[in-house]
Amino acid sequence: MATYRRAIDHVGFLVKIERAGFPLTLNHYFASTISARRKARMEKQLRDLKSWQINDDEAQPLLRFNDVLKAYVSNEQHTVEEFEDVLKSYHKVARKRFVDNVCKQAIDHHLICSVDGPLQVFSAEFVGKLEHDALRALAEEDSHIMNRRRKLEGDLQTLARAMERLAEP
């Protein structure tokens, strides 16, 4: 239980860091995500202009200069869009980092690989010393699950025999 408590406390620590600290990342995907968002936004604005199009293999819209000028937005709208691009890009990168940190630090370090973690109890030496009944009690399915599985296996065999009979000429 102490190991589980340390893992949960560490997740709390990671949450505190994310919430209290400055939004900061050195991940290069941050810049590429911002760029992709800006490009997608601009493409949508230009496609929504409903300019004319010729029927060729690429079917690219042809834009008139006056139509393109309509795609420009006010300084206020531009600032709002930029903030949205930066925040959504940051949170996309930060969310992935946070999930990785929880996985690597709280789960892997505290629960799986820790010398005093819960999985260390089940060492080969420990399991080798168990009596047959004790090992069965630890590893065996619950009786109601075992009974349900056996029933389903019987039903499956019955259905397979029925399918064979239906396939007979």
- Judged against a pLDDT cut of 80, whether residue 116 lies above it is answered with no
Average pLDDT over the chain reads 85
Tell me the C-alpha to C-alpha distance, in Å, between residue 97 and each of 54, 90, 103, 121.
Answer: 45, 10, 10, 30
21-49 pLDDT per residue, tens:
888 899 999 999 999 999 998 888 877 77
Give the pLDDT confidence of 43-102 residue by residue, as tens digits.
Answer: 888 777 766 666 666 666 677 777 777 777 788 988 999 999 999 999 999 999 999 999
Indicate the pTM of the whole model.
0.58
The span from the CA of 120 to the CA of 123, in Å, is 6
